[in-house]
Amino acid sequence: MDYGLLTLIIFGSLVFFLMLGVPVAFALGGISLVIGYFFWNGESSFVGFLLGSYGKVLEFTLTALPMYILMAGILRYSDLADDLYEAIYRWLGGVKGGLAAGTTFIAAMFGAMVGIATVATATLGLTARPSMIKRGYDPKLANGVIMAGGALGILIPPSIVMIIYAMEARVSAGKLFFAGFIPGVIAAIVFMAYAIGISYLNPNMGPALPREERYSFREKLASLRGVILPLLVIVIVLTSIFLGIATPTEAAAFGVVGSLACAAIKRKLTWDNVKKMIVMSVKLNGMVFWLMIGAVAYARIISATGVGDWVAGLIGGLEVNRWVILIGMQLIFFVLGFFIDPTAILLMTAPVFIPMVYDLGFDPIWFGVLFIVNGCMGYLTPPFGLSLFVLKGVSPDIKMKELYASVTPFVLLYMFVLVLLMIFPEIVTWLPDKVMK
């Protein structure tokens, strides 16, 4: 069969079933089984898919995923966000837009603890949003900083999406962790600057606390005790990797132990909370590994039919600058982000895009960070941005139209960060090169 027609069948059928609402994992796996039967050795292709999936989920790199997901579950139900927000409220409440900027800071800290985007969004939607609305903050600003800050969970290390990318691209997860650190900090600073700047231009967006409600310096210092436990988890995970004490996989175990200690100190290791932690971890692990199984089958059919090589050769043979191709990839990521989860996008596009990145001479670590920034936008962009539904779920009073308006300026700010990283790749590559030579 003509490669062009076969490519249309493989990719077109995937888009068709996704539009019908079929879960991504089953769309990937089901299409691969059917096409594999007709175009790759009939029933014997099923054995190839089975062995490929079995080998993939047993890779050592993936053993970190359940641990980081469990760590996220423990921290989600330890109420650490309450203490963090109290500290931010006392220190920044007297600044116009200070609570919004502080919320971004807390979201970045949560990102450095849990590695996923939804935990900070859900937690701060329950704690920070009511506090900001009560004090006269514009709902769109409050919603925006919560969702944009929560999305930093996949950019600031440790990140579950980074681990999956490292496995697909055959690069060091540790180097990718450190590569995302400075871009994550820059994005957080950009969001904080925006929140404060827009509030100074329009004080009704983020009014400062009245003087009579502000705290004394002693009360501000006392609130810092609530920051110690979250910082402890971050230091345990990143320092163990930095000093070579542990691999990113082993550091995940350190993080779980540190998270359990935090939960115990906070007296949150109740039987009810433990059940919630385990249920959240099992659900997320199940989702991720089913995605992996489906993606392995899909990657095999792309490889076995020669479609991957054909598409790569077609694009690589274009008489255009390699940067044009790179920008085209970013646009594809951005458009897919309107409809599909970043992890699924990665697993769908990796078989074609990652070999092209190597062929074009781009640094795969740098490209991985660009992809993850696109993934952050994917959590925010309607109609299916996951962060939109998470915040709507914990704050049912919000209208979807309001949520869409809330994320618009922050999607543009993420685009600014993406362009900055493309123009100055050293922002991404400097730290991992220094730390992990």
- Higher pLDDT: 308 or 21? It is 21
Asked if 378 and 345 touch (Cβ cutoff 8 Å), the reply is yes
Read off the pLDDT of residues 398-423 as tens digits, 9 standing for 90 and up: 888 888 899 999 999 999 999 999 99
Which segments of 40-172 does DSSP mark as H helices, in order?
Answer: 44-57, 64-76, 80-92, 98-114, 118-134, 139-151, 160-169
Return the structure tokens found at 189. Answer: 């600073």
For 156, 296, 354, the CA distances from 107, given in Å and listed in that order, are: 10, 33, 30
pLDDT computed for residue 75 by the predictor: 75
254 pLDDT exceeds 90? Answer: no
47 is in which domain, residue-wise? 3-435
Q: Give the count of domains, the chain.
A: 1
15 pLDDT exceeds 80? Answer: no
Read off the pLDDT of residues 299-353 as tens digits, 9 standing for 90 and up: 777 777 777 667 766 766 667 888 998 998 999 899 888 877 788 788 878 888 8
Which residues touch 50 (CB under 8 Å, ≥6 apart)?
Answer: none
Mean pLDDT of 95-106: 88
pLDDT computed for residue 187 by the predictor: 96
Read off the pLDDT of residues 59-90 as tens digits, 9 standing for 90 and up: 766 777 788 778 878 877 887 767 777 788 78
Q: How many CB atoms lie within 10 A of CB 300?
A: 21
What's 210's DSSP letter?
A: P
Read off the pLDDT of residues 351-397 as tens digits, 9 standing for 90 and up: 888 988 998 899 999 999 999 999 999 989 887 787 888 888 878 88
> Mean pLDDT of all residues in the chain?
84
The pLDDT-based confidence of 213 (bands split at 50, 70, 90) is confident
Measured distance CA(436)–CA(178) in Å, rounded: 9
Asked if 389 and 125 touch (Cβ cutoff 8 Å), the reply is no
383 prior amide bond cis, ω within 30: yes
Measured distance CA(27)–CA(24) in Å, rounded: 5
Measured distance CA(408)–CA(414) in Å, rounded: 10
